[in-house]
Structure 1
Amino acid sequence: MFQTFETVGDPTAGPARLKALRAELSRRGLDGFLVPLADEHQGEYIPDSAKRLQWLTGFAGSAGIAVVLAGEAAIFVDGRYTLQVRTQVDTAAFVPHHLTDEPPHAWLKTRVGAGARVGYDAWLHTAAEVERFEKALAEVGATLVPVEGNPVDAVWADRPEPPLGAVTVYPAALAGEEVADKLARVGRAIAEAGADAAVITQPDSIAWAFNIRGADVAHTPLPLSFAILRADGRPTLFVDGRKLSNAVRDTLAEVADVEAPAALEPALAALGAGGARVLVDRATAAARVAALVAGAGGRIVDGRDPVVLPKARKNAAELAGTRGAHVRDGAAMVRFLAWFDREAPKGGLDEIAAATALEGFRAETGALREISFDTISGAGPNGAIVHYRVTTETNRAIRPGELYLIDSGAQYEDGTTDITRTLAVGEPTAEMRDRFTRVLQGHVRIARAVFPKGTHGGHLDILARQALWEAGLDFDHGTGHGVGVFLSVHEGPQRISRIANVPLEPGMILSNEPGYYRTGAYGIRIENLVVVGEPQTPPGGERPMMAFETITFAPIDRRLIEPALLAPVERAWVDDYHARVRDTLMPHLAEADDRAWLAAATAPL
């Protein structure tokens, strides 16, 4: 198994750990401290050794920050975790707040006065984030103070060692481009930005640029490392040598200088001392990076990580591999869905049993390298917890008359998958069918969207919500996120949400996942992955338009669809999609029972 179901985090330990941290802050002359869920790379996926927020509070979500003061402490999470945080954290010690409705910097300036000193670890915050806190504190006469040595680490006695996952070379046939060509392309972008070099801090950017993969964090093949790429000249890769075999080191040495991570800070200072113009992504790079360069006399060029957009625009080889991975994954999903329909009515199934079975079907493909995230396996009211993680303590029986939501994904060498299906167990209620169909309408409207160059996900997000809004309903998460190729299942900069502002471009992969969640009752989400296609001018049209190609193959539960709510074009889309699913997957199913189930599950509405 690539996942466990043990309870993560311990809310009962929070008060004692908070007390120890406050004593350490007092010893250092600090009135407060920021504890983000972050490591030095500022990515979503971090190793156990960097999970300071989880150790301190018990919160095990993927985004959040705590603010610790002498007399009070708060934890800030986004809409995905508003329910989860209250079950994992001692809320008497850490009061929960909504990350966007009440940002931590705004909260903090109402809690401190003139002369207060609030500490932060400059490797764990971006420059943009630091500026927000500095500005807010300055308004009340307080100061944000960088610390040497994280005070959480000083009181975390059993902190795990940093990971040493082996780095592997990713085949050029799957990457679709040689490393030298990628680096030359990125070098030109650095020069066009007016810089001499760029500091790359995101491990997925480094993995893509150097055609490597790693094993430093769960479920995502990231090699934790840093790089300095140059407009002209050899790049430098900073990675722990213990992660490299002789063969991998030799391969990397052909295109880059390979140094230990400890050499990064001196290298940044040397860039500054040489007067270099250094491109730094203030939204993703640690504040310490810019401070080292500027402090030594260098000039910071603000700009996006120059690898991000080339990585997001998948080439023909990456798309071919991803499509193949989704066919393989779709066949495993159909086997699981058919098994579920046979077993669920018998009773005895629970959330862990279902998640375990799905991972087993994927493993039987012989190609599964990892799952792409911990499976969200939620029965009944647990399905309403958007990022629910089942444990042996929360494991719930899957009962007739309820809905079951399973959100899961796989890592294959040729592609990364992410799919959510909501399933009826027994006879669904009229309300369940209504809500499910409205979510389906949003899903279909995104899938059918046609849009011109320059359109970003913020323009499209309303399509996913309109049918819900008409009934006074909504969902508190984005509609879609970018997805990598044997990399991060959450990949930027592309996304579909109210705040998305990056234009969608051909080759980008995104999720299409509207939902609805009734707290204490059930959750609904329908998720497929889509690819942005090349612009084409419609017959009789005047401008080229882009559209989405759905690449996920698995039936949508027809028992939950209320056809009368669907417009004719929506109903036609469902029938056409199911026909594609049937035709694509039927040759990949060996068992007659599975083929019969697929035929019935994809019958026209």
Structure 2
Amino acid sequence: MTTAQPRHRFQTFDDPSHRKGPERIAALRAAMREARVDGFVVPRADEHQSEYVPAHAERLAWLTGFTGSAGTAVVLADAAALFVDGRYTLQAPEQVDTGVITPVPLAEKTAEAWLAEALKQGAILGYDPWLHTPDGVARLERAVAKAGASLRPVAENLVDAVWAGRPRPPAGAVVLQPEALAGEGASDKLARIREGLSGSGCDALVISDPHNLAWAFNLRGSDVTHTPLALGYALVPRQGRARLFLVSSEIAPEVRSALEGLADIAPRGAFADALAGLGNGRIRLDAATGAAALKNLVEAAGGVADVGPDPITALKAVKNEAEIAGARAAHIRDGLAVTRFLAWLDARAAAGALGEIEAVEALEDFRAAGGELRDVSFPTISGSGPNGAIVHYRVTRATDRRVQPGELFLVDSGAQYRDGTTDVTRTVAVGEPSAEMRDRFTRVLKGHVAISRAVFPKGTTGAQIDALARLSLWEAGLDFDHGTGHGVGSFLSVHEGPQRIAKTGTVVLQPGMILSNEPGYYRAGAYGIRTENLVLVRDIEIAGAERPMLGFETLTLAPYDWRLIEIALLSPAEIAWIDAYHGRVRETLSADLASETALWLERATAPLVPGV
């Protein structure tokens, strides 16, 4: 890779300054006094409850400096707290001004429990009904009731009222996802959606999740970084013509023509009136992404808000043959880029000159060089030494560090291609790893292999499989505080439900679902380890089986770092699986690699036990 190669930058490395935390919290408190509320809730959310939100909806980051993808701040007149899950317990205190905002791990206390204790009797807690689901509002109502306080929606978000220079809402171009890649026409999808709607007793469905909107209408956009979404809503009646409400007005004539064959198209601003105009019908609102404001609009018009699952979510989770073929092709393309990067990283790190930002940029260049990259699927996690212990670490120019000999380097990254979405994590040794590092890496790898090799009867949930990834760590008194796997979309979100492999994974796994397989271990202040591949649920034929069985096909193609593997901890079956996987990586990728990189891959994928 030469310095003359053009660079394609999809992520930046600036960090919201927490030095402005006191000033911004003070401004919010002034707005609270003007609005006559004693507290205000600031979730990391937009009107669609999305994980990745447009810049103008990054209220939590602007207010607190915290850049994680999940979290909630509560600001009262005399206290403020930020509630984060296990992924961010190390990151949050590093990013916020802890003299003004107290980070609180959700494992210790929820925002609702904190509010029940902190609110004074008679206090009024404000919230934006567009940023909370009906269930979320109900939880807040129960919390304030315990405190003898009350809950009040605000007409204008109080953070927006004090956010000087707030970015404008996006309105990117809308494009069509070709049917050859989608695998099914949008008209057929809408027919399936209506069929599911008929069984629910509802008169219409509100599509509030932009991912579901994209899937149902075979459209994509650029309103959100890292996920190709066109923001908007749709109304799909049980009978009659659908209506599509898009933020963007940038729709090419051929795209508009195709969409008008499916639905009436209107601007996003017309959606609230259209929803109110439905009258006294029974309207399905998605429990996960439908804002409380939508429920209020339906009920104000005399309708019944039927809050439950959007049927599209389950349909979208099961990939068809075209989407599966696209995923396999995307992973071969991505595997070539990641392997080239790992070979480059090996040489660069050995020279003691590797920086975290430099690694992010290099990996992006290797992916872009293939000519098919549309975006990274999330900001690359590039953590050296202690930064690797921060589960969702995001390098900034202020935190960028060079990896030192004797450290581990963790790189978790992914890409968006028109035919598939990828997500892969590799942990590599720089210099000689310690015996502890090898032990921990191998225990994580054993859990990763256990998931990869698992076979299970139809009807199994992700929660039933999750323990397989943890058993070897548990034997040493260790664990990790995140799920083992999340669902993945098809040129859509890298984090797609409802399926997941986690203690809370209650959804039954079905053939065609794609998930991640990513156990980890994190020693705070020292290093982090995570190994991740994407896997496809598929039918498994077992001679003499008494019931239908499923298993996983591994899609990701990239070598593990053999220098971190403690072979004595592996069983013969685990060694055989790793060798077979490495053999597939080598056979699939080598012909398309330059000779020097192919030679590196041959060494990296050599049998763990030579001659066996």
Please report the TM-score for the alignment, with normalisation by the length of structure 2.
Answer: 0.97
The one-character-per-residue Cα deviations of 1:64-112 (angstroms, maximum 9, x if unpaired) are: 0100101101011111111111111001111000124311011101011
Q: Equivalences for 1:359-374 in 2 at 5 Å?
A: 359-374=364-379
**Is 1:199 paired with 2:215?**
no
**Is 1:423 paired with 2:428?**
yes
Of 383, 388, 393, the match for 1:383: 388
CA shift, 1:142, in A, is 1.2
C-alpha separation in 1, matches of 2:142 and 2:301: 24
The one-character-per-residue Cα deviations of 1:529-564 (angstroms, maximum 9, x if unpaired) are: 000002x45112201110010000000111100111
**Is 1:561 paired with 2:565?**
yes
**Is 1:270 paired with 2:277?**
yes
Helix, strand or coil at the partner of 2:296: helix
CA shift, 1:5, in A, is 4.2
Of 573, 576, 598, the match for 1:572: 576
**Is 1:603 paired with 2:606?**
yes
8 A Cα contact 2:249 2:267, kept in partner: no
**Is 1:144 paired with 2:151?**
yes
8 A Cα contact 2:230 2:247, kept in partner: no
Of 18, 21, 27, the match for 2:25: 18
C-alpha separation in 2, matches of 1:567 and 1:523: 24
C-alpha separation in 1, matches of 2:9 and 2:545: 50
8 A Cα contact 2:246 2:266, kept in partner: yes
C-alpha separation in 2, matches of 1:269 and 1:341: 59
Of 341, 345, 361, the match for 1:340: 345
Q: Equivalences for 1:521-600 in 2 at 5 Å?
A: 521-534=526-539, 536-589=540-593, 591-600=594-603
**Is 1:92 paired with 2:99?**
yes
The one-character-per-residue Cα deviations of 1:39-85 (angstroms, maximum 9, x if unpaired) are: 10111010010111111111111000100101101011111111111
CA RMSD, 1 decimal = 1.1
Q: Which residue of structure 1 aligns with residue 493 of structure 2?
A: 488
C-alpha separation in 1, matches of 2:277 and 2:343: 61
**Is 1:64 paired with 2:71?**
yes
Structure 1 unaligned regions, length at least 5:
none
Name the stretch that deviates more: 65-74 or 337-346: 337-346
Of 175, 187, 195, the match for 1:180: 187
Q: Equivalences for 1:32-71 in 2 at 5 Å?
A: 32-71=39-78
C-alpha separation in 1, matches of 2:115 and 2:443: 40
CA shift, 1:302, in A, is 2.9
CA shift, 1:2, in A, is 2.8
C-alpha separation in 2, matches of 1:100 and 1:137: 21
Of 296, 317, 322, the match for 2:327: 322
Q: Equivalences for 1:226-375 in 2 at 5 Å?
A: 226-271=233-278, 273=279, 275-375=280-380
8 A Cα contact 2:173 2:248, kept in partner: no
8 A Cα contact 1:64 1:78, kept in partner: yes
Letter in 2 for 1:181: D
The one-character-per-residue Cα deviations of 1:298-332 (angstroms, maximum 9, x if unpaired) are: 11223211110111100000000110000011011
C-alpha separation in 2, matches of 1:541 and 1:330: 34
Helix, strand or coil at the partner of 2:499: strand
8 A Cα contact 2:115 2:147, kept in partner: no
8 A Cα contact 2:171 2:248, kept in partner: no
**Is 1:519 paired with 2:524?**
yes
**Is 1:456 paired with 2:461?**
yes
8 A Cα contact 1:2 1:371, kept in partner: no
CA shift, 1:355, in A, is 1.4
Helix, strand or coil at the partner of 1:110: helix
Please report the TM-score for the alignment, with normalisation by the length of structure 1.
Answer: 0.98
**Is 1:220 paired with 2:227?**
yes
CA shift, 1:346, in A, is 1.5
The one-character-per-residue Cα deviations of 1:461-489 (angstroms, maximum 9, x if unpaired) are: 11111100110111111101010111101
C-alpha separation in 2, matches of 1:455 and 1:137: 39
8 A Cα contact 2:87 2:481, kept in partner: yes
8 A Cα contact 1:64 1:99, kept in partner: no
Letter in 2 for 1:250: S
Structure 2 unaligned regions, length at least 5:
1-7
Q: Which residue of structure 2 aligns with residue 510 of structure 1?
A: 515
CA shift, 1:262, in A, is 1.3
